[in-house]
A and B are shown apart, each in its own frame.
Chain A
Amino acid sequence: MSDTAFANTPLAEETRQSEVRFRGGGFAPRNRRWVGFVVFAVLIGLAEIGTRTGFISNLTLPRPSDVLETIVQLYQSGLLFKHLVPSLTRLVVGAALGASIGISVGVMVGLFSYVRAGLVPLLAALFPIPKIALLPLFVIWFGIDEGSKYALIAFGTFTPTAVATYSAVDNVDRSLIRMGQSFGLSWFSIVRKIVLPGAMPGILSGLRISLAIAIILLVAAEMLGAQYGIGAYILEAGSLYDLERLFAGVVILSLLGVLVSTVIGIIERRLLGWRT
């Protein structure tokens, strides 16, 4: 057949027709915020119904409404803030210390070959140490008071932040750095205006993990020698097998985690709006 006779080429319309099947769906997560709430509500609802009907015994799981009541009582008695304020202070001070040192060290590792060669093995050695195991050591070094708690939380946030930061710096688009050099930008300008903003997405997603670890360590630190604090509260409730109060403490911790994650989400949206 000649290739000029396009107009005369008939389509095989008479034979069996079938529509092309759509097969390109999925693999594109979309924002469905309400689903999260539904999952929470269903789980809590099930627990409530189960405990009320006696299907779940009170020894297995406290009734969610009782836990809520305990939190309300805690708030009304003023004890909530007595526990929450020292905890938040420890979290903020410790995490701020650890994150800022972690980011600085991570940036240095990312930028200087000698620092990298010297510190990457050290970071690899420090990362898997369960920081809680070092609490006695910190108590000896920094005292039984706040110092050891700050140090523990700071140390726990430091390693993941440093590792996340240096891999974020590694991933900054080299062609942008070349561009900066080709326009004669100073070293400091390149770091401040190209490397740091370019590493910001990685640093922030590292912080998400580090801050969750900070909350875990906060509780661990408070379980060892603290009069007030969410951790102390949970420990006390746990040793009395007071499940309502135990769960009340756990709920407060979860809320803290959600809060931290939300704050980072807001920062990401404000700082990283440029991402496609």
Chain B
Amino acid sequence: MDIRLDAINHFYGKTEILKDITIDIPSGKIVCLVGPSGCGKSTLLRFAGGLEKPTSGRVLQLGEPPEGCLNTLTYVFQDFALLPWRSVRGNISLVLEDHGIRGTKADAIITDVLARTRLTDFDKALPKQLSGGMKQRVAIARALAVNPAVLLMDEPLSALDSQTRELLMDDLVTLWTRTPFTALYVTHNLAEAVRLGHRVVVLSRRPGRIREIVEIDKPLAERGYADADLEIIQKHLWDLMRDEARAAEEELIDV
């Protein structure tokens, strides 16, 4: 199933946040959304999953969601959003319970996603016992459990330290290589964007407009840490954003 953001405009009061955004997210690809802070990229992600409504424009699902899909558009949040009173297993079973999946059927799904995120031994742990990286892996496992058509990832690695971030990027690449998933991936970290994105959409400062769409052809599995090809693309992205990022940084917040 593909997803299309179609001519999205958005205002907060009189302030224009997003202007004429059209993005296609083809099935089985990861589209990264980068831009200076406050450009509305997270807002755009909330539109994509129906958590907020744009002033004008539509979000379209093209085609049928895959079979066995419980939650077509599934988020992975920056702050993990795990229930602290539920164990790792309980947090995953939370999203299955409402679909009437319990008992052995739920166990099979949970065991599978835990294995895919290398968390099998930690299923009884509480979130407070886990490191940031493991928490995010639990959140990813939870997202995979509902077999989503599109993953909407809101700066999933931004709350982690840089080493954990590298490790988790490898994990995401492995996950994708094994079973390609579709994702809209919002980040402000250009290294993540060039590592994980098949396509990188650069937004401008507020009001957010599409400045450039960069396609990266190199297969995910062949991209690595400090990859020379990626460095060039990353530098290009940074050149696009640098001045705006500085201007955005120096802006006063008045909301």
Most buried by A among B71, B84, B86, B97: B84
Give A165-176 as 1s and 0s: 1 = Cβ < 8 Å from B's Cβ atoms: 000000000011
CA distance A175 to B46 in the complex (A): 12
Within 8 A of A (CB), among B72-92: 73-75, 77, 79, 81, 83-86
Q: Report how many residues on chain B are interfacial, defined by Cβ distance under 8 Å.
A: 23
Question: Nearest chain B CB to A179's CB is how many angstroms away?
Answer: 4
Question: Nearest chain B CB to A275's CB is how many angstroms away?
Answer: 7
Is the pair A183, B146 in contact by a Cβ cutoff of 8 Å?
Answer: yes
Which A residues lie within 8 Å of B75 (CB)?
A: 179, 182
Nearest chain B residue, comparing its CB with the CB of A182: B75
Question: Nearest chain B CB to A167's CB is how many angstroms away?
Answer: 19
Is the pair B51, A184 in contact by a Cβ cutoff of 8 Å?
Answer: no
Which B residues lie within 8 Å of A273 (CB)?
A: 126
Q: Which of the residues B70, B74, B85 comes within 8 Å of A182, measured between beta carbons?
A: B74
Is the pair B84, A275 in contact by a Cβ cutoff of 8 Å?
Answer: yes
Which B residues lie within 8 Å of A175 (CB)?
A: 77, 79, 81
Q: Provided the pairs A178-B51, A274-B126 are in contact, do residues A184 and B81 lie with their beta carbons within 8 angstroms?
A: no
Give A186-206 as 1s and 0s: 1 = Cβ < 8 Å from B's Cβ atoms: 100100011001101000000
Q: Is A263 an interface residue (CB 8 A)?
A: no
Question: Nearest chain B CB to A269's CB is how many angstroms away?
Answer: 13
Is the pair B83, A197 in contact by a Cβ cutoff of 8 Å?
Answer: yes
Which A residues lie within 8 Å of B67 (CB)?
A: none
Q: Is B49 an interface residue (CB 8 A)?
A: yes
Is the pair A176, B71 in contact by a Cβ cutoff of 8 Å?
Answer: no
SS of B interface (majority): loop
Q: Is A276 an interface residue (CB 8 A)?
A: yes
Which B residues lie within 8 Å of A275 (CB)?
A: 84, 128
Q: Is A267 an interface residue (CB 8 A)?
A: no
Is the pair B81, A189 in contact by a Cβ cutoff of 8 Å?
Answer: no
CA distance A194 to B85 in the complex (A): 9
Is the pair A185, B83 in contact by a Cβ cutoff of 8 Å?
Answer: no
Q: Provided the pairs A193-B94, A274-B126 are in contact, do residues A182 and B51 lie with their beta carbons within 8 angstroms?
A: yes
Is the pair B146, A274 in contact by a Cβ cutoff of 8 Å?
Answer: no
Q: Is A227 an interface residue (CB 8 A)?
A: no
Q: Is A181 an interface residue (CB 8 A)?
A: yes
Nearest chain A residue, comparing its CB with the CB of B127: A274
Is the pair A176, B95 in contact by a Cβ cutoff of 8 Å?
Answer: no
Which B residues lie within 8 Å of A185 (CB)?
A: 94-95, 98
Is the pair B85, A197 in contact by a Cβ cutoff of 8 Å?
Answer: yes
Most buried by B among A183, A194, A273, A275: A183
Q: Which of the residues A176, A182, A186, A197 comes within 8 Å of B98, measured between beta carbons?
A: A186
Is the pair A179, B81 in contact by a Cβ cutoff of 8 Å?
Answer: yes
CA distance A181 to B73 in the complex (A): 11
Which B residues lie within 8 Å of A176 (CB)?
A: 81, 83
Nearest chain B residue, comparing its CB with the CB of A184: B71
Which A residues lie within 8 Å of B84 (CB)?
A: 274-276
Which A residues lie within 8 Å of B128 (CB)?
A: 274-276
Which B residues lie within 8 Å of A178 (CB)?
A: 51, 77, 81
Is the pair A184, B98 in contact by a Cβ cutoff of 8 Å?
Answer: yes
Give B14-44 as 1s and 0s: 1 = Cβ < 8 Å from A's Cβ atoms: 0000000000000000000000000000000
Q: Which of the residues B77, B98, B127, B146 comes within 8 Å of A179, measured between beta carbons?
A: B77
Q: Which of the residues A183, A189, A194, A274 comes within 8 Å of B71, measured between beta carbons?
A: A183
A-B contact pairs, 17 of them (CB 8 A): A175-B77, A176-B81, A176-B83, A179-B75, A179-B77, A182-B71, A182-B73, A182-B74, A183-B98, A184-B98, A189-B97, A193-B83, A193-B97, A194-B83, A272-B85, A274-B84, A274-B128
Query: 7 shortest A-B CB distances, which residue pairs?
Result: A179-B81, A274-B85, A183-B95, A182-B75, A276-B128, A274-B84, A197-B85
